[in-house]
Amino acid sequence: MGKLDGRTVLISGAARGQGEQEARLFVAEGARVVIGDVLDEQGEALAGELREKHGKDAARFVHLDVGVEDEWRAAVAAAKDAYGGIDGLVNNAGILRFNELVSTPLEEFQQVVRVNQIGAFLGIKHVVPEIEAAGGGTVVNTASYTGLTGMAFVGAYAATKHAVLGLTRVAAMELAAKNIRVNAVCPGAVDTAMTNPAALDPDADPEETAAAVAELYRKLVPMGRIGRPQEVAALALFLTSDDSSYITGQPFVIDGGWLAGVSPF
């Protein structure tokens, strides 16, 4: 018996990184997963791999630009067509841009808002009615360590993650009577391409990049290392499963102790 047996969960931004690990773990725990992403080739490959390993109903891929309302409608329709309904959502898709606030172009700020904030809103708006129709379920929003504090040079990102926590709390209050729980994961630094753009650079030396990242977080994080996407996936599983049955409206920080304070060691 898996923790998510019989459940259907839509995960946005699931072609790589945290979303990919959530998709893998959720399927391993018995869920049928709809993988939404703009990375079509990677998303299709992941869905195919999961079907091959776990059975023909394990996963489906759907192209999903989370800032486009019609694409959410299409993703919901595809999920219903494949599985009959949806009873879980993980709003995982997000982007990160580094810039000083006063140097941030309006277009860049709006781009981050469109994906991180509007994307989460549209996911709730279009998936929650299906979760209600299924008799209840869960929403897990991906916020951030920076949704609870400030961080220089990520102003647009931090602003959107604060907003995601606001959406989480309001949605939890509005949906509790409908048997829908809404919580947020708040990762610190996690070893994915988004937080480490050098990993996407074909000319970068992987060993040098890994060493530089390891040294940075050895100094910043009390636990002395960067997080792993599998660890965030495990938290998302907890919040999606019945293990968290009396929890809603809460931010869950997963950051190796970073928010507690910078380690002096």
Task: Output the CA angle 176-13-88, nearest 5 degrees.
Answer: 25
Edge-to-edge strand list for the sheet holding 88-91: 59-63, 32-37, 8-12, 88-91, 137-142, 180-187, 251-254
Report pLDDT for 203: 66
Report pLDDT for 146: 95
145: annotated active-site residue:
no
Closest CA to 176 of 242, 130, 245, 118: 245
Q: Which of 83, 145, 157, 217 is the catalytic position?
A: 157
Q: How far apart are CA 208 and CA 163, in angstroms?
A: 35
Burial of 260 (0-12, 13-18, 19+ CB in 10 A): exposed
Q: Say which residues have a Cβ less than 8 Å from residue 174's Cβ, sequence separation at least 6.
A: none
Closest CA to 115 of 91, 144, 131: 91
Report pLDDT for 194: 74
Report pLDDT for 257: 93
Domain annotation for the chain: domains and CATH numbers: 8-260 (3.40.50.720)
Report pLDDT for 239: 98
- Output the tens digit of pLDDT for each of the chain's 265 residues: 899 999 999 999 999 999 999 999 999 999 999 999 999 999 999 999 999 999 999 999 999 999 999 999 999 999 999 999 999 999 999 999 999 999 999 999 999 999 999 999 999 999 999 999 999 999 999 999 999 999 999 999 999 999 999 999 999 999 999 999 999 999 999 988 876 655 545 566 767 767 777 787 888 899 999 999 999 999 999 999 999 999 999 999 999 999 998 666 6
SS (H, E, C) 76-115: HHHHHHHHCCCCEEEECCCCCCCECHHHCCHHHHHHHHHH
